[in-house]
Chain A
Amino acid sequence: MAILVIAEHDHASLKAATRNTLAAAARLGSEVHLLVAGSNAGGAAAQGATAGAARVLLADAPQYAEQSAENLTALIVSLAGGYSHILAPASSFGKNFLPRVAAQLDVAQISDIVGIVSADTFVRPIYAGNALATVQSADAVKVISVRSTAFDAPPESAPAPVENVTATADTGLSKRLGQELTKSERPELGAAKIIVSGGRGLGSGENYKKILEPLADKLGAALGASRAAVDAGFVPNDFQVGQTGKIVAPQLYIAVGISGAIQHLAGMKDSKVIVAINKNPDEPIFQIADYGLVADLNDAVPELVAAL
């Protein structure tokens, strides 16, 4: 049986995490289909066609404009009969609807996999990544969310055919009243090559901006934060890197004024190179940093910006 990957997209284009999920699906040994559910989502489907799937299924209807968990689940369940595995990115998009799909199919969900042992056995982090569990599923359909940082995106493929699939009826269970999206010229946190991240040591939201934005601008980096900085109101929640925020693994992660709580390390310890700047040499962040700089961030960061 084939494998179904649910595309994360904004109708016009495919999100990077979809490609990582396709890479995981490709390792399961069967034909992979990509489902694009959206409204006027031809752009996303066209990008999906060259992302490595054998077929793209396009469900294009107004009831998928908001990508509500209720309507996406109805659609995925209507298609599930032909598939041995259903995969989605373990992003806030995938986490929202995928357990709903699993429960409707009366199967377990395997969350946030970082490794594939065989078609029924997977590796996933537990306890904030302090342990790795290898789990085996006996369910007829394996419903899996994929940690995108654990699977490298495949190269572009020759275009696969795009087929329209029948839309399911609007469940009418949920209505979007509004959206406030942060407009940013910076790269997406989950896909950035360099991340500059700030913690409680920044002291305030103003200081976070004043100190870190010039560094991020200079490096073309995304901005992140520890939970402590989010809790203190320095930055919005979607900046949060950690166990319950975003899991990232950039080429370079610069942790500024971050102590290195277990929950934060869980979100960034797979970064290729970690830099820590903190005035307290005893902070746990230094234990995992490749390059630790013990210094007052208020002096060191502007100096770094000037030196780059």
Chain B
Amino acid sequence: MPVTPTRRSVLAAAVATGAGLLTGCSSANSGSSSPKKGGTLSAAFPGAGVKETMDPHAQRQFVDIARHKAVFDKLVELDSTLRPVPRLARSWSSDDEARVWRFELREARFHDGHVLDADDVLYSLSRILDPDAADHLAKNSLSHVDLANCRKVGRRGVEIALTRPNAELPSQLAMTGTPVVRDGWDDPSKPVGTGPFRFASFTAGLGFTGRRFDDHWNGAPHLDEVRILSAESEARAAAVRSGEVHFAHEMTPTFARTVAHDGRVRVVATKRSGVQGFALKTDRAPFDDPDAALAVKLLVDRKRLVDVVCAGRAEIGNDLYGKGYTYYPDGLEQREQDVAGARRLLRRTGLYNKKVTFYTSTAADGFAQAAHLFTEQAGEAGLKVEVVNGPPESYFTDALSKGTVTNHRCGAMTIPTYIGERLLSDAPQNQTAWKHEDFDDDFTAARAEVDDEKRTARYRSVQTTLRDRGGLVLWGHPEWLNAVSRTAHGVKEAPPNTVDWARFDTVWLD
């Protein structure tokens, strides 16, 4: 079946290809030198126009999160394996039930001179959980914080009480929408944080400028100034190649191929930075029968999907989220394409030669392409697929309720967060409509387990259940591609939303 490219993909490919033809070849420069002080770094991220905000609790887009990361800090961040690492919180511990947590704060200074204290943390939590703030994203994942019983312990100790046990609280405090703000602060037009850059200016849809904060608790940044700009993919590609920006976020495999021999730019590729897959609705026929879902898992040709949709820049998935992350259940046999086995299961479940609807859209690169490839592969096994295109602007919200099969993708987050937000009966983004009380109980028990080994074993069991009986067909773990100019150094490979991602305080220019 033909695959229709989008206007944007055509333009991006054309920029990359045209530019490739017109520029000379030279060897790639991975770049390393001893850090130098000074300079202004410009970084381009996909923009979101007037939606962009400097309210760190209303984070929506990567461009927002990158800007907030420059100005604010979190108590905790995640390392590249999605394990919590200290930031404003120097250390933490919990009671035996993981119901009361104590965080010790480090001595950090806000840009206005105020020294971080427990009141700032308690205020930040109450602001995040403001019931009237519909756009505060972390309020769901932190809804079990018992604000009334949270308290300060001395000047730098904070006790966070929970309404239910949760061994994952530190990780959840590292997710998007959780930066610490100054006690009483509520003016996004004048952001004041403890981050490595002071706020200088911001225009939604255009750019942000931050200036070096010399009193940052982790040491002053190398740069004098950082500019975080908004730009669509074609503009990012051209701007980073022409040297107008030093860093371009979220580039395509086509771009990476084009600049492979361009000495002016190098691509920093972070492996396993999320997941791509298909979501089968398990609350309705035919995928309320786990065997029907298993048939789909067997019929897909994961390698071909990776090769075509991700241009080969992905690791093959095993219907499990978070390959390489903490709690990923290693050692499970890789699921391979088994058309004969799939056909047997389709016959047994009465699905052979029947039709299902695939609700897709151009909401993300490769979605429509993946849907059409799936249609071909399903056809080989005897499952007919009708592809229906939906509007990209609201696709992810629509896909929560529409379609029998839908596209699924997810960026980097901890495995418990992924399950908690997508696979519990009351999860806000339960795209597979996976609603099983016993599963919820197993997951809740795992999350409450304070012993690391036991918790890991319980999570393994939960994930195995999902892999065998759930509605997620996770076929690939794509690389995350950023472009860096040869004059910029210190940019590390890091999955989005982790501590070294979009981190410009440790970057320097020639």
Bound pair (A, B): no
> Which B residues contact A (CB, under 8 angstroms)?
none
Seen from chain A, the residues whose Cβ lies within 8 Å of a Cβ on chain B are none
